[in-house]
Amino acid sequence: MADQADKKPHTGDNRPALALHVPEPRSRPGGPVNFADIDIGKAGDQPRPDEGTAPADMKDLAYGLVRVLGDDNKAYGPWDPKLDPDTLRIMLGHMAMVRAFDERMFRGQRQGKTSFYMKCTGEEATSVAASMALASDDMVFPSYRQQGILIARGYPLIEMINQIYSNRGDKLKGRQLPIMYSSREHSFFSISGNLATQTPQAVGWAMASAIKGDSRIAATWVGEGSTAEGDFHSACTFATVYNAPVILNVINNQWAISSFSGFAGAERTTFAARALGYGLAGLRVDGNDALACFAAQQWAANRARANQGPTLIEYFTYRAEGHSTSDDPSGYRSAQEREEWPLGDPVMRLKNHLIEIGEWDEDRQQAMDLKCAEEVKATTKEAEKNGILGHGMHHPFHTMFEDVFEELPWHLEEQAKQATSERIAKFGSERPDQ
């Protein structure tokens, strides 16, 4: 048996003491902001390889930054998707609607109408523009900040609000946290609060699509902090090994909840560079440039449809608001970061591009913003007729026993009857509002 002295650390020799590195953000609350270390490159400088290019031959694209919109609001380079003005206006409209929706739902949470909400301010292009590059029936596996996908796919706003309020109009029957939507009809997989679970699910769905000889691909969205989860790395392995027709979108918005991206590995390399170790195609994209977001997703979708393999895309963007309504970002980052962010605001940049090419103006933008705000306001009032948090206007009590088993087991059948009868005895109905 070893002597106790042998278990003590060695001292007195000439070996250097070990030291642990703890990542530090570039700025703290009350301090100056410094983004000088970020090399955003020049719009149009990055080459656009053929969709069938081997990942090893495009490694530089995992370290640079694919950009289309320049500081002069013009489109440059081979990644310009050359979208027509009508499509650009539709894209801008969806982004404006997302922003109006976020503002109204944030206000509703502060008024106690729902328990929780998550805004995506500053990240709208990563969901709206990217999803518009996919086919409407391609399966998407989102995280909790991709409400723009549903809006771009035409999902009714009232259904989103009913879900947020968990009222009797909620198609998910109050079983999901607010903002964790699901819509089979819109090829939108159920959002999970467990981080990164959607990544292997997306890869598995894509593998099944390939096995069946289908033509639909899958795309998933995950935050940069969640790439530290084991599920993400399992997804990368399976995607590469089986050449799954899937796109892994990593939204690097610089911050997880209360911790900056360095804790997920951003100090050492880019998140797009993680693709290289797996043999994945990797792209690093300006996430505040709607044209670049569309182009990168379109490139990856074409690659997947041609059976050329999966792609990992890092969208380099910035989370302009708190992580959620439960978060106070002033406790861990400088209040000036949002204004100093070198890649600007995605809505403003797309608007300014349309103005630059003579297809838009400030008056029409103002009218669009007002129309979006009024539509969200009217829809919210309609949804509130179905109830708000704690109002009691919910689904009938017995529904809590449904939708798990094809046939309810006898013991749950007994529990359901007993629980329902007790509730009726107490309230006179299964629902207190009746």
Q: How many secondary structure helices (H) and strands (E) does the chain include?
A: 12, 7
Q: What is the pLDDT of residue 251?
A: 98
Query: What is the distance between the alpha carbons of residues 299 and 52, in angstroms, rounded to a whole number?
Result: 10
Query: What is the distance between the alpha carbons of residues 389 and 396, in angstroms, rounded to a whole number?
Result: 16
Q: What is the pLDDT of residue 166?
A: 93
Give the alpha-carbon dihedral of 61, 65, 68, 74, to 10 degrees. Answer: -140
Residue 101: half-sphere exposure toward Cβ, Cα within 13 Å: 29
The pLDDT tens digits for 349-382 are: 999 999 999 999 999 999 999 999 999 999 999 9
CA dist 43 to 197, 247, 285, 295, Å?
Answer: 34, 24, 11, 13
Q: What are phi and psi of 235, to 5 degrees?
A: -60, -45
Amino acid found at 86: D
Q: Are 163 and 170 in contact (CB under 8 A)?
A: yes
Task: Provide the b/e sequence for 31-57 (b: ≥16 CB within 10 Å).
Answer: eebeeeeeeeeebbebebbebebebee
Q: What is the radius of gyration, based on Cα positions, of the chain?
A: 24
Q: What is the pLDDT of residue 249?
A: 98
C-alpha closest to that of 337 among 24, 34, 25: 34
Q: What is the pLDDT of residue 12?
A: 63
Residue with the two structure tokens 């000088």: 36
Pairing of strands 139-141, 218-223: parallel
Q: Are 200 and 238 in contact (CB under 8 A)?
A: yes
Query: What is the distance between the alpha carbons of residues 123 and 252, in angstroms, rounded to a whole number?
Result: 10
Amino acid found at 262: G
Q: What are phi and psi of 238, to 5 degrees?
A: -65, -40
Helices (H), 116-272: 124-132, 147-152, 157-165, 198-211, 230-241
CA dist 269 to 22, 136, 237, 314, Å?
Answer: 16, 34, 19, 12
**Burial class of residue 199, CB neighbours in 10 A (0-12, 13-18, 19+):** buried
Its pTM stands at: 0.93
Opening angle at CA 368, ends 96 and 127, nearest 5: 20
Q: What is the pLDDT of residue 1?
A: 46
Query: What is the distance between the alpha carbons of residues 129 and 146, in angstroms, rounded to a whole number?
Result: 11
Query: What is the distance between the alpha carbons of residues 166 and 161, in angstroms, rounded to a whole number?
Result: 8
Query: What is the distance between the alpha carbons of residues 380 and 226, in angstroms, rounded to a whole number?
Result: 32
Amino acid found at 217: I
Residue with the two structure tokens 């979208």: 83
Q: Are 199 and 419 in contact (CB under 8 A)?
A: no
Residues in the chain, pLDDT under 50: 1-2
